[in-house]
Structure 1
Amino acid sequence: MSELRLKPGTGWQEAYSACVTLAPEAFHDDRVLNHWGGMWQRDGRPTLDVSPLDRTAIAGPPRLDRAAAARAVRGALDQHREWRHTPLAERKARVSAVLDALTEHRDLLSLLLVWEIGKPWRLATADVDRCIEGVRWYVQEIDRMLAGRAPLPGPVSNIASWNYPMSVLMHAMLVQILAGNAAIAKTPTDGGVSCLTLACALAVREGLPITLVSGSGAELSPALVRGHELGCVSFVGGRDTGAQIAMSLADLGRAHILEQEGLNCWGVWDYDDWQTLGRQIRATFDYAKQRCTAYPRFVVQRRLFHDFLAAYLPAISSVRFGHPLAVESPDDPLPDLDFGPLINDAKAKELADQVEDAINKGGVPLYRGSLADGRFLPGQDTSAYFAPVAVLAPPRSSPLFHAEPFGPVDTIVVVDTEAELLAAMNASNGALVATISCGDEATAARLAAEVRAFKVGVNRPRSRGDREELFGGLGASWRGAFVGGELLVRAVTQGPEGERLPGNFPGYTLQP
């Protein structure tokens, strides 16, 4: 292979300059802006960040203080009180215009995702496309979903992780607005500020009631979680932060959607279609498993372990990773990689430390990839990259045993009985998704019914899903209303008095 180079036209400065040209109200030469009170605000403490691709300096979030965040939330309430009376036909027309604008600038939004959060081009464009296509479906279906329902009494506050700025965060905001609410978004601290700002700028131009603010969670939480003006709090992230938000909301009786992590497990029992499983294992490494529905744990029947290993090792060794914008020739298409960097070098170091700790305490290093196998530019910084790793029998004292690593690290547990299989698959007290690979339908159905995950696939992976597909979590992986399809609209609107929404609430759990 000849020496790699950055594909012409894909540099950070070119991407940011395109943002300044396209949306000068939101992007200045030296910083991005917040949006609140119906105006783009050059406020907050501007910060520089570095791209996980190669530590190129990129725009960071302009951090507000607590007082400014409170003013922003009050401004969102003013917008909400006006927007909730906007006729549905007009709301649909304005949201549709935003979707057309996002479609027109899809490649720029995708390129920003590559630089800011390290997504390979295929996955970055998929994130943008899923947002656009998903919300178009809601525009078509919203009339029936809103029958007999009304907007919330206040705006929806959205606090989401960095990994899906478009298909999760922007998608949710547009549906919330379509349903008659104003929407507030906290820019994810770890990445995605320019992509989200550009998407919001295109939406604000069409008159959508969006508030976009940046800052630390501790500083902004009083306004974005406990602010009396809010109608709902929507959170996507880890269990620790989600639990803190749940405690903050406990005495308020406020609508909430708190999606938290769980250890999603893949069980293998009485199974023999190893060629299919090998393809599925390879696919689990998309975006370095930095997603809420990743599968970092395989639980395998002991008598099948040799067959599993024969499928697993070729799959993990075939994973392709590296710089998402590196090509051999200027005319080459961008590489089709499974993943690029992790979100930052601190995460890569944390994972390395966890792997070493697990091995030192008795875990077996079943597979250890090398950065030498990646595709990189000559001399580039690779501190945020992490090659795939698999650890057999992680010790119970290791974080890898009971928590999601959020990186390309698999743990494998071998079991002898169905009871052991289920205990291992339920190690984290609830998950979002799970899968059972099993050749017997009756056995698979019986095992799947005992797995504490919201979605359990049989011989296929499950994911968040789009359009009418529902999404939630069992146990400690979810608090509040479930979402997806009609449930997302119900979660951000008011229905009949005494309505019990499907979800995990302090007083009840109701499955859809």
Structure 2
Amino acid sequence: MNDENALIREQAFIGGRWIGGQAWRDVVDPATADRIGRVPDLDDATIDASVDTAFAAFGRWRDTSAIERANRLMAWYEGMCRRREALARLMTYEQGKPLAEARGEVDYAASFLRWFAEEARRASGTTIPSEDPHVALGTVREPVGVAAIITPWNFPMAMITRKVAAALAAGCTTVVKPANETPFCALALAALAEEVDLNNGEFNVVTTTGKRFSERVCADTRVRALSFTGSTPVGRQLLRDSADTVKRVAMELGGNAPLIVCEDADLGTVVEAAVAAKFQTSGQDCVAANRLFVHRSIYEPFVERFSERMNAMAVGSGFDEANEIGPLIHADAVQKAQSLIEDARDKGARIIGRDQTDAPGAHFFMPTVVADFTDTMRVSTEESFAPVAPIRAFDDDDEVIAAANATEHGLASYLFTHADARIRKFMRSLEYGMVGVNTMDITGPHVPFGGIKQSGLGREGAHVGMDEYLETKYYCIGGVPPR
């Protein structure tokens, strides 16, 4: 650890003050299981106090001009850019992803601050033509209020800025609960926010258990919006918990992304794209390719070349620039990956890859192909969140579309073909919120990110990203006809 030490905060951030607690939780390096530090495990009263602070700040922040809100976000963006390397190293230390990916995430996270700084000035209302010339009709868009934000460990900075930047740009104040595994990334963002005067309750970071936080904020009528990224089962529970207070809810939930390779795809290009789509963030990505379907005419060559490329990937500490696969987040993730492989092997799949005894540590999992997977195997229905690549052959378009759609999830999907008519058919037929055609690079601040079915509600990013934090108020102004 070098410059990243300066960004580590072992306290929560509430109302511009750094807060300790009565109980504490250790944070560990997933590559070594060594202790990095600790953060407070805040109690109910302190969580309520964070909402008090955000609620008190809301009136001030709502009335701050859009230009001033934009200026604060831009200053925050510039601070992230200046500290890019330190933030990336902190992320690798805490989350484990290779440094190149961590640098990419810092850039990605900062881009949302810039995007919504620009969008802050575009929350426009409308004028409605009236049937009565003496009456004026229209709408204005107003911030919802306090927004509670719950974020995951796999993208510990970008998932915060994607939500918080939109909320702050809209005029909302925020209370963020980062994942227990990666609180220091969130607190580093708070340290940078403090430097640009986002320190009066606009942005608060609370470290506590997810259950305790969600129970407090879901029951609190002052919290008017809830944004969550995480698993579908937890998302369902949060929907139930938010029902009594009828909150504005946005959710980005689980994925089971299909990657479909048609017979006219260039094999060399598509193998590289498929490897990237599967193994970025060591497979711990909600838009990672979770099931690969390859046309039978090129199936065996694809499996061979994909496996060869996979086996050449270096596995180890994210601080070694040569490594492409880092650790999984904890031992449970490794055990789940192993159980998926064992289930598939028992049911007849071909398992291709290096021996797991070659893994460089207890939290590492060697990337593995599950060839010839079937619908009876757990890899077909469960999001692996690991470097596990199930692959199987298909014979015709209708067959693979049906197989790709045979899931409760509908976040991301990928298609590789050069036939225009086929592209149009698949784009309309795939039941996913996002379809990448001949590319796996489908995200960015300008993209309306989100899923359908049980993969979520609402969209994040793009011009629609602020919609989750704005209410539309209609007005009707009557007038006395002139004499």
TM-score normalised per structure 2: 0.89
- What is the aligned partner in structure 1 of residue 146 from structure 2? 155
1:206 paired to 2:196: yes
Q: Give structure 2 stretches of 5+ with no counterpart.
A: 126-138, 476-483
- What is the aligned partner in structure 2 of residue 116 from structure 1? 94
CA contact (8 A) 2:4 2:87 kept: no
CA contact (8 A) 2:69 2:117 kept: no
- What is the aligned partner in structure 2 of residue 237 from structure 1? 230
Distance 1:245 1:274, change over 3 A: same
- Using the TM superposition, give the Cα deviation of residue 235 of structure 1 relative to its aligned residue in structure 2, in angstroms: 0.4
The 10-residue stretch of structure 1 (117-126 or 64-73) with the greater mean CA deviation from structure 2: 64-73
CA contact (8 A) 1:434 1:456 kept: yes
CA contact (8 A) 1:263 1:427 kept: no
CA contact (8 A) 2:177 2:206 kept: yes
- What is the aligned partner in structure 1 of residue 176 from structure 2? 185
- Using the TM superposition, give the Cα deviation of residue 113 of structure 1 relative to its aligned residue in structure 2, in angstroms: 0.2
TM-score normalised per structure 1: 0.84
- What is the aligned partner in structure 1 of residue 334 from structure 2? 348
- What is the aligned partner in structure 2 of residue 58 from structure 1? 36
Match among 432, 451, 454 for residue 433 of structure 2 = 454
Q: Distance in 1 between matches of 2:34 and 2:295?
A: 46
CA contact (8 A) 2:415 2:437 kept: yes
Q: For residues 65-464 of structure 1, what are the structure 2 equivalents within 5 Å?
A: 65-147=43-125, 149-191=140-182, 193-208=183-198, 209-284=202-277, 285-326=279-320, 335-365=321-351, 367-370=352-355, 382-463=361-442
Q: Which amino acid aligns with 1:318?
A: A
Q: Distance in 1 between matches of 2:335 and 2:75?
A: 43
User: Structure 1 segments of 4 or more deviating over 4 A?
Assistant: 146-149, 371-374
- Using the TM superposition, give the Cα deviation of residue 471 of structure 1 relative to its aligned residue in structure 2, in angstroms: 1.4
Q: Give structure 1 stretches of 5+ with no counterpart.
A: 1-10, 21-26, 327-334, 377-381, 499-512
Deviations 1:103-141 (A, max 9, x none): 222221111100100011111111111122332132234
> Matched residues, percent identical?
24
Match among 465, 472, 477 for residue 495 of structure 1 = 472
Q: Which amino acid aligns with 1:358?
A: A
Q: Distance in 1 between matches of 2:410 and 2:262?
A: 20
- Using the TM superposition, give the Cα deviation of residue 18 of structure 1 relative to its aligned residue in structure 2, in angstroms: 2.3
SS in 2 for 1:231: strand
Deviations 1:389-431 (A, max 9, x none): 1112335444312021011001113233333211221122232
- Using the TM superposition, give the Cα deviation of residue 484 of structure 1 relative to its aligned residue in structure 2, in angstroms: 1.8
Q: Distance in 1 between matches of 2:172 and 2:55?
A: 9
CA contact (8 A) 2:113 2:161 kept: no
Q: Distance in 2 between matches of 1:368 and 1:60?
A: 37
CA contact (8 A) 1:293 1:462 kept: no
Q: Distance in 1 between matches of 2:64 and 2:404?
A: 48
Distance 1:416 1:484, change over 3 A: same
SS in 1 for 2:24: coil
- Using the TM superposition, give the Cα deviation of residue 296 of structure 1 relative to its aligned residue in structure 2, in angstroms: 1.9
Deviations 1:217-242 (A, max 9, x none): 22121223332111210000111101
Q: Distance in 2 between matches of 1:470 and 1:195?
A: 24
Deviations 1:272-314 (A, max 9, x none): 4111112212222121121111112111222331232243222
Q: Which amino acid aligns with 1:494?
A: E
Q: Distance in 2 between matches of 1:443 and 1:98?
A: 44
- Using the TM superposition, give the Cα deviation of residue 442 of structure 1 relative to its aligned residue in structure 2, in angstroms: 0.8
Q: Distance in 2 between matches of 1:98 and 1:138?
A: 12
